């Protein structure tokens, strides 16, 4: 127990900062940066930090943020006055409503999770790490000049831009239950980034309302980005078997046609069963199998967080996935260590809490075998138009 050692010749860089975790979005807001503290405490009580290169996240510079975001938006974000969320009088740039409140320390929060993703990407680009991890990142809805869905600065876009300085092609994969619209839009007209998002899609009834199967990129044939957006619209209750099969099949096809030089994987934990906002039945095992599959491809891999609104489930998934990145998952004791802080928190689920057993009401699976096969068939045809 606790004897986790660093595998020889294998480097995982881990980027975190307690300063990020102390921010509050406001009373009963689903996004709780504190879930990062819970995840970190689990990771550290297993002793996993000893097997990684650990870095303290720093704030991204103004210049780094301007790689994607507009100057006027950054000015407003930096100086916006803290205000109680008011959905009837949202400020410019979609700030100040209930989804994207302006809270104390907002700009520091955003700059820091972005700085962490940028540093993580540079570790990979400079070949100083095989896998880089930033669980505080993954804020995939943020636009060039607009906050959206709990996201203010798009750390993923900034990280991919760092990778593209050194590498020809990047595959972006998004297993958050929501559509990764901000990242998709940022690289909409590029053939150097293939974006793939799996998500619940129910028209305008589920945020952000985009991501149907036919959303494949710009429709003008001459546009380099044509066919370079892949969307996997799913219905409620999808289980591990269907989810992991879809993931491996589609990612496998992307690899063949696109030959990426690196993979950025957004590991939003709101696709897990029992999530406060999500509607899927994915377990920690299934979620982790996606991360393990990406690791097995042997490409530089950036893992970022994202959604996840049942904190104890988020902590379980990201601790498990950190162990997969290190390669110590097989030897990890499934019983959550007795000495872990917040142990009582995990006892809401069971008296002998484990890493993989999450609480979540089973939801009826609305995804038929035919539907799942039709999705793969359609994407197979789309990918025929993608050539590296
Ligand atoms: C809340 O309880 O669908 C915000 C947001 C705040 C506290 C009290 C305010 C009560 C659920 C959500 C009023 C809340 C009204 N509080 C929220 C169209 C909407 C307009 C806002 O995982 N109302 C907007 C965004 C999504 C909408 C999901 C996922 C991010 C990510 C990456 C973003 N927005 C309807 C909702 C609450 C709240 C309770 C909420 N907001 C649930 N879903 C949304 O992809 C990190
Ligand atoms: Ca997604
Ligand atoms: Zn989400």
Residue 278: inside a domain: yes
What's the pLDDT tens digit per position in 299-338? 999 999 999 999 999 999 999 999 999 999 999 999 999 9
Q: How many independent structural domains does the chain possess?
A: 1
What's the pLDDT tens digit per position in 9-58? 999 999 999 999 999 999 999 999 999 999 999 999 999 999 999 999 99
> What is the chain's alpha carbon radius of gyration, rounded to the nearest angstrom?
20
Annotation says 179 is catalytic: yes
Residue 136: inside a domain: yes
Structure tokens at 267: 């590991």
For 250, the domain range is: 12-383
178 Cα: distance to centroid of ligand 3 (angstroms): 4
The per-residue pLDDT for 226 is: 98
CA gap 310, 305 in Å, rounded: 14
Residue 2: inside a domain: no
Q: Binning pLDDT at 50, 70 and 90, where does residue 106 land?
A: very high
Residue 3: inside a domain: no
The per-residue pLDDT for 2 is: 56
Residue 5: inside a domain: no
State the CATH number of the domain containing residue 254.
3.40.800.20
13 Cα: distance to centroid of ligand 1 (angstroms): 32
For residues 292-296, average pLDDT: 98
The per-residue pLDDT for 158 is: 99
CA gap 6, 257 in Å, rounded: 34
The per-residue pLDDT for 221 is: 82
Give the helix/strand (H/E) hosting 114. helix 106-125
On the 0-12 / 13-18 / 19+ scale of CB atoms within 10 A, 126 is: exposed
CA gap 175, 95 in Å, rounded: 26
Residue 7: inside a domain: no
Residue nearest to atom 25 of ligand 1 (CA): 149
Which ligand 1 atom is at minimum distance from the Cα of 270? 22
Decide if 265 contacts 324 (C-beta within 8 A): no
234 Cα: distance to centroid of ligand 2 (angstroms): 10
Residue 6: inside a domain: no
On the 0-12 / 13-18 / 19+ scale of CB atoms within 10 A, 109 is: buried
Q: Which of 207, 210, 310 to mutate to test the pocket of ligand 1 (most atoms within 8 A of CB)?
A: 207
What's the pLDDT tens digit per position in 134-155? 999 999 999 999 999 999 999 9
Residue 165: partners with Cβ closer than 8 Å, 6 or more residues away? 125
- How many helices (H) and strands (E) the chain has is answered by 12, 8
Tell me the Ramachandran region of residue 209: left when phi exceeds 0, alpha when psi lies from -120 to 50, beta otherwise.
Answer: left
Residue 332: inside a domain: yes
């Amino acid at each position: 127990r606790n004897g986790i050692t660093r595998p020889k010749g294998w480097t995982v860089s881990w980027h975190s900062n307690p300063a990020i975790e102390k921010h509050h979005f406001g009373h009963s807001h689903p996004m709780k940066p504190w879930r990062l503290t819970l995840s970190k405490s689990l990771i550290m009580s297993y002793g996993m930090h000893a097997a990684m290169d650990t870095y303290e996240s720093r704030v991204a510079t103004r210049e780094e943020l301007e790689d994607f975001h507009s100057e006027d938006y950054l000015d407003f974000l930096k100086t916006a006055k803290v205000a109680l969320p008011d959905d009837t009088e949202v400020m410019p740039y979609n700030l100040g409503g209930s989804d994207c409140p302006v809270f104390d320390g907002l700009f520091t929060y955003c700059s820091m999770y972005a700085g962490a993703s940028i540093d993580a990407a540079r570790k990979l680009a400079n070949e100083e790490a095989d896998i880089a991890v930033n669980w505080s990142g993954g804020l995939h809805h943020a636009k060039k000049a607009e906050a959206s869905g709990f996201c203010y600065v798009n750390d993923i876009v900034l990280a991919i831009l760092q990778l593209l300085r050194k590498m020809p092609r990047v595959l972006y994969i998004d297993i958050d239950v929501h559509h990764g619209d901000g990242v998709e839009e940022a690289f909409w007209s590029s053939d150097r980034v293939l974006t793939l998002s799996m998500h619940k899609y129910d028209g305008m009834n589920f945020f952000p309302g985009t991501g149907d199967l036919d959303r494949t990129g710009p429709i003008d044939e001459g546009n380099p980005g044509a066919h370079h957006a892949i969307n996997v619209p799913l219905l409620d209750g999808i289980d591990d078997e269907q989810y992991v099969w879809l993931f491996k099949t589609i990612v496998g096809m992307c690899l063949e046609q696109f030959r990426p030089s690196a993979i950025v994987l957004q590991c939003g934990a709101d696709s897990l069963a029992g999530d406060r906002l999500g509607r899927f039945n994915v377990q920690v095992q299934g979620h982790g199998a996606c991360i393990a599959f990406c690791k097995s491809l042997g490409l530089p891999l950036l893992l970022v967080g994202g959604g996840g609104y049942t904190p104890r489930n988020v902590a379980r998934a990201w601790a498990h996935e950190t162990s997969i990145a290190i390669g110590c998952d097989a030897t990890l004791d499934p019983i959550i260590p007795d000495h872990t802080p917040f142990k009582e928190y995990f006892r809401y689920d069971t008296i002998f809490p484990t890493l993989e057993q999450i609480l979540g009401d089973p939801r009826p699976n609305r995804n038929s075998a035919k539907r799942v096969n039709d999705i793969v068939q359609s994407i197979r045809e789309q990918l025929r138009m993608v050539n590296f």
